[in-house]
Amino acid sequence: MALKLTLKPNERMIIGTTVVANGGKTACNLVVENKTPILRQKDILNEKEADSPCRRIYFAIQLMYIDLENELVHQETYWKLVRQLLDAVPSLTGTIDRINQHILTREYYKALKLASELIDYEQEVISSVK
């Protein structure tokens, strides 16, 4: 089944391993006719933005999703980061367990969605300390 996407003016996305950008002043429609990883701009985290424990976990999952060629390397990084996070914040075990289930079944997009909850939690904690 084809997936129809609308790309807003100047919006970027990753389709497979390719970054696609709408350079026009109007929205454009794309139709993706095969199964491939897709990340919209709002879901993309660049390496410089991966500057906290939860963001690094998100980034590792993102790389698993779009860079299948190096999937095992990214998984190793993910497991190390998760161990470190759980050592520091054991109360996140439930969320991490749910993410892990998606990692183990290679449902990386679903894992990314849950990992974004970790980032939200982390931001709340940081905001409450300030």
Do 105 and 66 lie in one domain? The reply is: yes
Do 74 and 110 lie in one domain? The reply is: yes
Do 74 and 36 lie in one domain? The reply is: no
Could you give the CA distance from residue 80 to residue 57 in angstroms, rounded to a whole number? 9
The mean per-residue pLDDT over the stretch 115-127 comes to: 92
Could you give the CA distance from residue 120 to residue 19 in angstroms, rounded to a whole number? 26
Per-residue buried b or exposed e for 51-88, using 16+ beta carbons within 10 Å of the residue's own CB:
eebbbbbbbbbbbbbbeeeeeeebbebbeebbeebeee
Do 99 and 68 lie in one domain? The reply is: yes
Do 116 and 86 lie in one domain? The reply is: yes
Is residue 106 scored above 80 in pLDDT? Answer: yes
Digit-coded pLDDT (tens) for 28-87: 999 999 989 999 999 999 999 999 999 999 999 999 999 999 999 999 999 999 999 999
Do 17 and 80 lie in one domain? The reply is: no
Q: What is the pTM of this model?
A: 0.92
Cα torsion 15, 65, 81, 119: sign: positive
Do 71 and 86 lie in one domain? The reply is: yes
Do 33 and 58 lie in one domain? The reply is: no
Domain hosting residue 56, numbered range: 47-129
